[in-house]
Structure 1
Amino acid sequence: MNDINHLLFGIYPYIAFTVFLVGSLIRYDREPYTWKSSSSQLLEKKWLRRGILPFHVGVIAILGGHFVGLLTPHEVWHTLGVSAPFKQKVAMGMGGVFGVVCLYGMTILLIRRFTNERIRATTAKMDIVILLMLYAQLLLGLTSIFVSAGHMDGEEMLKLMSWTQNIVTLNGSLAASYIAQVHIIYKLHVFLGMSLFLVFPFSRLVHIWSVPVKYVSRSYQIVRAR
C-alpha cells in the first residue's frame, strides 16, 4: 500500500507535470493550427452565453484559491494570525460558493453539447473526456466540503498543503507520506487533478496558455462604419 501511495502521490505528479509542459511545447511547435479553443459560438449562442461566464468565473476563482491556499507556506499564515481551522472554514465557504457557480455553468455547457445535434457532431472524443473529467473533479471538490465539515481542526488541510509544497520543492517521498492518511475523497481529487495535467496537451485546454493578457495594455483598435 505504501508503494502504491508513493507511486500515485510521490512519482505520478512529476510524470503528469512533465507531460503537461513538454507536451504543450511539442504541440505548439508541431501542430500550431490545432492550438485553439474550438469555440462553437457560431453554432449556438444562447445557452453558451448562459453557461460560459459562470463556468469561467468559477474555475478561475477555484484555481486561484487552490494556488494561494496550498502553496502559501504555513509560516506565512501563522505570521498573519490565520489559524488552520479558520483557513479551512474560508476555503469551504469560498470553494462552495464558486464551486456551485462553476457547476451551474458547466451543467449548462454539458447539456448543450450533448443535446444540440450540430455541436455534438463537431465534438471530438477528447472534448467529451475533458468535460467529464472536469465535471467529476468539480463534484469531488464539492463533496470534499462535506467531508471537511466532519473535522474542523484543519489537520487534513495542513497535510494537503504539505503535500503540495513538497511536490513543488521536488521532495516526492516526503510529499507522499503527508497525503497517505487523508480521506479517500481528497486522494481522488488530487489524483484526478494530476490526470487533468496529463491529458492537457492533447486537448483544447491548451488555449489557456494563450490567454489574451496583452489585450489589457494594447492600443485601442479604431473601427469605422462603412
Structure 2
Amino acid sequence: MNTLHNFIFNVYPYICLAVFLMGSLARFDRDQYTWKSDSSQLLRQGQLRWGSNLFHAGILFLFFGHLFGQLTPHWIYEYLISASQKQFVAVVAGGVAGLICFIGLSLLLHRRIFDDRIRLTSHRTDLAILIILWVQLVIGLSTLPASLHHVSDPQTMLRLANYLQGLVLFNPDASLVWGVEWHFQAHMLLGMTIFLLFPFSRLVHVWSGFGTLAYLVRPYQMVRARRLNVPANQTLPRRGS
C-alpha cells in the first residue's frame, strides 16, 4: 500500500502533466480540425444556455480558487487572514461555486443523454468527460462537511496545500496525504486523471479560451480600402465575360 500510495501521489501527477502538455501540443500540431467543442446549439437552446453559463461560471471560479488557494504559501496571507478563516471562506465560496457548477453540468449531461438527436451525434469521449467531471464535482461537494469540520483545526488543509506546493516545486511528499479522508484523496486522484485525459477530449478548447486573452495586447491592424482608378464612363467587367 505504501508503494502504491507513493506512486499515485509522487509519480502519477508528473505522468499526467507530461501527457497533458505533450498531448495537447501533438493534437494541435496534427489534428487542428478536431481542436474545438462541437456545437449542438440548435437543439434545446434554453437548456444549453442555462447549463453552459452556470457550468462555465462555476468551473472557472473553482479552477482559479483551487489554483491560488492551494498554491499560495501560508506565510503570504497569514498577516491578513488566519488559516481557519481561509478554510471557512474556501468552504463557503467553493460550496456556492460547486453547487452552481453542479447544476449547470447536470443540465448539460441530461440534455446530452436524454435527447435522442443530441445523443446520437455525440462522441463517446464527450459523454465520458462530462460524466467524469460530474463525478469529480460530486466528490468535491462531499468533502465540504469534513472541510467545515476542519475550520477549527485546519491542519488537513495546510497539509494538502504543502503537498501541492511541493508537487509544483518538484519536491512532492506523499506522506502529507497519508491518513487524509478518502474523498480528499479520491478528489485529487480524479483531478490528476482529468489532466491525463485532457488532450484526448473536447476539453482542449480550453486552451483556445485562454488564448483569446492575447487579443487584449495585440496591436491594432491598419486596414485600408483598395481604390481602383476606373473612368466614370467605364464599368468593371463582370465575372465570366
TM-score by length of structure 1 reads 0.92
Q: Which residue identity is paired with 1:8?
A: I
Q: 1:209 aligns with which of 191, 207, 210?
A: 207
Question: What are the equivalent positions in structure 2 for 1:20-169 lying under 5 Å apart?
Answer: 20-78=20-78, 80-152=79-151, 153-169=153-169
What per-residue deviation string (whole Å, max 9, x for no partner) do you get for residues 96-115 of structure 1? Answer: 01111111111111111111
Deviation at 1:171, TM superposition (A): 1.0
Q: What root-mean-square deviation, in Å, do the aligned CA atoms of Structure 1 and Structure 2 show?
A: 1.5
Contact 2:112 2:127 (8 Å CA) reproduced: no
Deviation at 1:118, TM superposition (A): 1.3
Q: Which residue identity is paired with 1:170?
A: F
Deviation at 1:2, TM superposition (A): 1.5
The match for 2:239 is: none
What number of residue pairs does the alignment pair up?
Answer: 217
Residue 149 of structure 1 aligns to a residue whose secondary structure is helix
Distance in structure 2 (CA, Å) of the matches to 1:206 and 1:187:
25
Q: Which residue identity is paired with 1:111?
A: H
Distance in structure 2 (CA, Å) of the matches to 1:70 and 1:87:
11
Distance in structure 2 (CA, Å) of the matches to 1:136 and 1:155:
26
More displaced 10-residue stretch of structure 1: 209-218 or 160-169: 209-218
Query: Percent identity between the aligned chains?
Result: 45
Q: Which residue identity is paired with 1:108?
A: L
Q: Which residue identity is paired with 2:190?
A: L
What per-residue deviation string (whole Å, max 9, x for no partner) do you get for residues 159-214 of structure 1? Answer: 11011100000013x2x111112111100000000000000000000000001224
Q: 1:185 aligns with which of 183, 204, 226?
A: 183
Gap regions ≥5 residues in structure 2:
222-241
Q: Which residue identity is paired with 2:101?
A: C
Q: Which residue identity is paired with 2:33?
A: Y
Gap regions ≥5 residues in structure 1:
221-226
Contact 1:87 1:154 (8 Å CA) reproduced: no
**Higher percent of residues as helix:** 1
Contact 1:160 1:178 (8 Å CA) reproduced: yes
More contact order relative to length (CA 8 Å, sep ≥ 6): 1
Distance in structure 2 (CA, Å) of the matches to 1:121 and 1:217:
41
